[in-house]
A and B are shown apart, each in its own frame.
Chain A
Amino acid sequence: MTREPDHTTPQPVGCEASTAKREPLVVNISDMKLSSDSADVIVTYSLGSCLGVTAYDPVLRIGAMVHCLLPSPGANREKARKNPFMFVNTGVATMVRKVIDLGAKRERLIFKAAGGANMRNDTLFNTGRRNFEALEKLLERNSVTLSAQDVGGTIPRTLFLYLDTGRVVVRSFGKEKEL
């Protein structure tokens, strides 16, 4: 789902409507949300080994967040065709295309990432590390640098993107920190 400028939806009127708390845009697993409304907050809950990646244009205040399950489609090409956001390399690339379609400038985009945790003592699957490596490879190929990250370890994370300032916040164990 995208919350783009919507000229068909009646705008809230009166004090009560304008002060009502707006629900955040929730990004599910293998999902992406974007917005050009600076009043919006995008959030994804419960990042385990999945990777949450945000992109934000500070001039136009356009931002997006993707929640990717796996590094690359591998044997799941059909799934990537149906839902590119399931995978880091197709999901992040598609998200960037979508924010550029909204008017954002590629060279202004600020990227941040969180998640990519692993099970304790897991040397076999390492899904979290593989997810982050896929992101690094993709960004390197496009000569883009990650501005901030909070990845790895064994902790679950919730990730927020505030469209008004581009502030990205990670919450874990009830504590918040800004990326």
Chain B
Amino acid sequence: MSRRNEILDQVSKVVAVPSCSHMASGLLGNPDADFRELARVIEYDPGLTANLLKVVNASFFSGSRPVRTAREAIIKLGTTQVLQFVISTGVAPSFVQKIEGYDLAPNMHLQHSVSVAMAARELGSILSMDVPDYTFTAGLLSGIGKTLLGAYVDVNVQSILDFALRDGLSFDQAEDMVLGINHAELGGIVLESWGLPEELTRVVRHHLRPDEYDGVDPVLDLVHIGNVLAKMIGVGLGVDGLNYIPSQKVAERLGLSPDVLDMAAANVVVGLESVRSLFMECVA
């Protein structure tokens, strides 16, 4: 079996993405907890969001409009079911554990995911684009493949880095060379296998190389640049560092300039302060 097939074989075994849910669980135990606060906790947690979207888009709801954001999912499921969901999936706060392979310290992948989501949304706002709400969700989920591919990267990290640093490939191109798949494609495949809407899975799949997507999708463009921005800011940089290639075509399409990017970066750093307590709770 090729390495790619071996990795893809694991996809069917992934039933839930690890999450940081003990904070949500804590809210559940408090009868006075604000439901909006619970929604906020889920919204900033890639694991909970991915799992919740999986549940709400599952066959029980098939035929209705796909659900693309945590808030939509909460409205659709109702409080009681969301509470049950968080309890049933929320006992393993491993999304915030160290991700082997990428050398991401505990909590760093969570912070990076939130930064990409905020950066994508912020860019859309600065550029006065009418972007859908799920831009945030797509950004939040974009790096989810790392939690799955980490074990394989761990074993082959030196070969991957050799391709990246010696041959000037991006880290995802190097992953393709060594593993036959990269974490963006893998993330897209996992979410697709869960029945998440195509608008989300295509962004996750193509967010590192948007030029390979056959079409134009403003959400994909924003998440691609959001990811670039989050890496430049330096939140959650692992062994892959800044070894990714920004798309010039996307930059031109969005009409980006260093000033726009600087403004977005500054706003994201200020915004991160407002959710720092969430990150702290997640490692507590």
Binding site for B on A (CB under 8 A): 29-30, 45-50, 69-70, 74-76, 79, 86, 115, 117-128, 130, 154-156, 173-174
Contacts and interface: CB of A to CB of B under 8 A. Distances in A.
Contact of B269 (A86, A155, A173): A86
A70 B265 contact: yes
B248 A30 contact: no
Given A119-B244, A127-B262, A154-B241, 16 more contacts: A29-B272, A45-B105, A46-B234, A46-B237, A48-B232, A69-B269, A70-B262, A70-B265, A75-B262, A120-B168, A122-B245, A124-B256, A127-B258, A127-B261, A154-B164, A174-B103
Nearest to B108: A46
Contacts of A119: 228, 231-232, 242, 244-246
16 contacts: A29-B234, A46-B108, A48-B242, A50-B234, A69-B266, A69-B269, A75-B259, A115-B234, A119-B245, A120-B242, A124-B256, A125-B232, A125-B246, A155-B241, A156-B237, A156-B242
B21 interface: no
The 5 nearest A-B residue pairs measured at CB: A48-B234, A156-B237, A49-B232, A154-B242, A46-B234
Contacts of A29: 233-235, 269, 272
A47 B234 contact: yes
The DSSP consensus for interface residues of chain A is loop
A48 B258 contact: no
A154 B243 contact: yes
A117 B266 contact: no
A118 B236 CA distance: 15
Interface of B: 103, 105, 108, 161, 164-165, 168, 170, 228, 231-239, 241-246, 248, 251, 256, 258-259, 261-263, 265-266, 269-270, 272
Given A70-B262, A120-B168, A124-B248, A50 B242 contact: no
Contacts, number: 106
B222 to A, nearest CB: 15
A64 B216 CA distance: 47
B234 A120 contact: no
Contacts of B170: 120
B244 A120 contact: yes
A126 B258 contact: yes
A144 B269 CA distance: 30
Contact of B233 (A48, A122, A130, A174): A48
